[in-house]
Structure 1
């Protein structure tokens, strides 16, 4: 099933529904999507009920889409595509650290910065090197700790498109200190438009992912073209690692990291900054994954930078 969290045009309320043939069938009651994810049977039964007896039906074009999970408990963003890493590193004369092949590394980003698939995105304050990252994300259904890799896929409620908006100039500066990324990443993370359950994608299984095209355009011009099946670390492996010694919770977002060619940083390093300039206010960016829908947004100017006050001398 394809699940949507949306704002109803009839009364402005946020609702949850199943999308079928371009129509959203709203679930009765007040459940949020995250309330249904811990048990696949509960989610499936709720979807069947929504299709059979919807609270309302709305043309998808008339519904305002939200992120499927508007405020996730946490967002872990990995670096799971080898092509992106190799291309980026080789373009600056560096080799991939062997540690990348030992563990699927990730960082935590900001749940408060989640945006819907059509929400405008403000450029990070002070950034002149703003970038998109084309990613796929898994949403945790059943919570768990120290999850064995062979059972980790059972904890996935569904998948969605993710854009990790990145201020590369901020990221480069802060990571020189040895921590991060921090402000380079937490301005916005776009999710949506749907949460697609794993059974929908099963016929496309290939390698460690699915044979589904991933594309990005900027102002209508093709930038990125990749395929989910090229992923090196599977979502099962990522979830196994993420849950080691801790807990992944219902609604947690597990991001794949950038697919090969899936950001301006990589494209500019390989093909030149003149061919692939950084994003600016007014640019329109569309990120699409076959079977999962697309994110399409317009960039807005960033807020003014509030300068840091001088440090008070220690006395």
Structure 2
């Protein structure tokens, strides 16, 4: 099944994509409600949605897909983005930090960072990056977490973690590589190089749709490709990840928790899954960084495609550099009983 959010005539809709139509969930359920209920409840929800859409009294519950504007399929509580493709790491490290090869630590555990859930955009949206000389895309697939009865999503083993995967969507982790390179010299980031936009879409395809597409080790065998202005830049297999999705979810839940609606990106595909990888291998900015007017299209077998056009960059208000401080210390131990006059009132 395909799960989506959309806008039609100024009204938000959430529900199923069925053939060339969208059908709203029954009882005004939201995507997040359905994710919390879990995959086991989905057939009953679909039957109720179809019955409501067929009823003469509720014709507005079914709308042609061509008439709606798709929104991000989920407003996620959190977004974790992994770096699970060895080939990508090998290439992009050269362009971002000038390093060579893949650090041994990459092979020990899947690594991720938290990115901005408030900057998620939909297919069809215009991307407005910060001022950057090295705008890039990142071709990824994301797992979306659903509820499992009797589990709080903590400290899952890989089998349990796989049960928490509700479905998959396409994930474009837009990146300003020059900002990213500066941040990572401080041993943090790459947040401001990436948190201006993340495309999710066009919808969530439920995990059961991929039955039979896993290999013996649990990797999803589906093709991925990215095109810029009609030219294919990268093509890869999702099964080239270093860890299957169930293990990514298990690691994310370790001494922590995953909850319904959480989004976990695979990390960028290899073989041209981003421009940064190609720049690192070539030692030059070829293909050229993205500029205003460029169209980026990503396609994944079994999910569909997302399209975005690069718009004008947005200049940020200036913040000055760090001030030189004295590093003075209190002359005596701090009195814990002291209450400032402002705090006292």
Query: Into which bin does the TM-score normalised by the smaller protein fall?
Result: over 0.9
In structure 2, the partner of 1:232 is: 242
The runs of 5 or more residues in structure 2 that have no matched partner are 54-59, 327-345
Distance in 2 (CA, whole Å) between partners of 1:90 and 1:191 is: 27
Distance in 2 (CA, whole Å) between partners of 1:141 and 1:244 is: 17
Distance in 2 (CA, whole Å) between partners of 1:205 and 1:20 is: 25
Task: Name the CA shift for 1:273/1:295 in 2 (closer, same or farther; >3 Å).
Answer: farther
Distance in 2 (CA, whole Å) between partners of 1:109 and 1:158 is: 20
- Per the normalisation by structure 2, the TM-score is 0.85
Distance in 1 (CA, whole Å) between partners of 2:309 and 2:252 is: 33
Distance in 1 (CA, whole Å) between partners of 2:136 and 2:127 is: 11
Distance in 1 (CA, whole Å) between partners of 2:224 and 2:26 is: 34
In structure 1, the partner of 2:33 is: 35
In structure 2, the partner of 1:128 is: 133
In structure 2, the partner of 1:3 is: 3
The alignment status of 1:94 with 2:100, answered yes or no, reads yes
Question: Which contiguous aligned blocks of 4+ residues in structure 1 show a shift greater than 6 angstroms?
Answer: none
The alignment status of 1:82 with 2:92, answered yes or no, reads no
TM-superposed CA distance for 1:120, in Å, is 1.0
Q: 1:218-297 counterparts in 2 under 5 A?
A: 218-260=228-270, 261-271=272-282, 273=284, 275-297=286-308
Q: 1:1-315 counterparts in 2 under 5 A?
A: 1-8=1-8, 11-38=9-36, 39-54=38-53, 56-69=61-74, 71-89=75-93, 94-124=100-130, 126-142=131-147, 143-206=152-215, 207-260=217-270, 261-271=272-282, 273=284, 275-309=286-320
Contact 1:37 1:43 in 2 (8 A): no
Structure 1, 60-69 or 79-88: larger mean CA deviation: 79-88
Distance in 2 (CA, whole Å) between partners of 1:189 and 1:90 is: 23
Aligned-CA RMSD value: 1.9
Contact 2:134 2:290 in 1 (8 A): yes
Distance in 2 (CA, whole Å) between partners of 1:93 and 1:247 is: 33
Query: Counterpart of 2:249 in 1: which secondary structure?
Result: helix
Task: Name the CA shift for 1:220/1:246 in 2 (closer, same or farther; >3 Å).
Answer: same
In structure 1, the partner of 2:340 is: none
Query: Counterpart of 2:191 in 1: which secondary structure?
Result: coil
Distance in 2 (CA, whole Å) between partners of 1:185 and 1:198 is: 28
Question: Based on CA coordinates, which of the two structures has the bigger radius of gyration?
Answer: 2
Distance in 2 (CA, whole Å) between partners of 1:274 and 1:79 is: 22
Distance in 2 (CA, whole Å) between partners of 1:110 and 1:48 is: 35
The structure with the largest strand share of the pair is 1
Contact 2:88 2:268 in 1 (8 A): yes
TM-superposed CA distance for 1:86, in Å, is 2.8
Contact 2:23 2:50 in 1 (8 A): yes
Distance in 2 (CA, whole Å) between partners of 1:279 and 1:273 is: 14
Task: Name the CA shift for 1:131/1:310 in 2 (closer, same or farther; >3 Å).
Answer: closer
Distance in 1 (CA, whole Å) between partners of 2:275 and 2:223 is: 18
The runs of 5 or more residues in structure 1 that have no matched partner are none
Distance in 2 (CA, whole Å) between partners of 1:171 and 1:157 is: 31
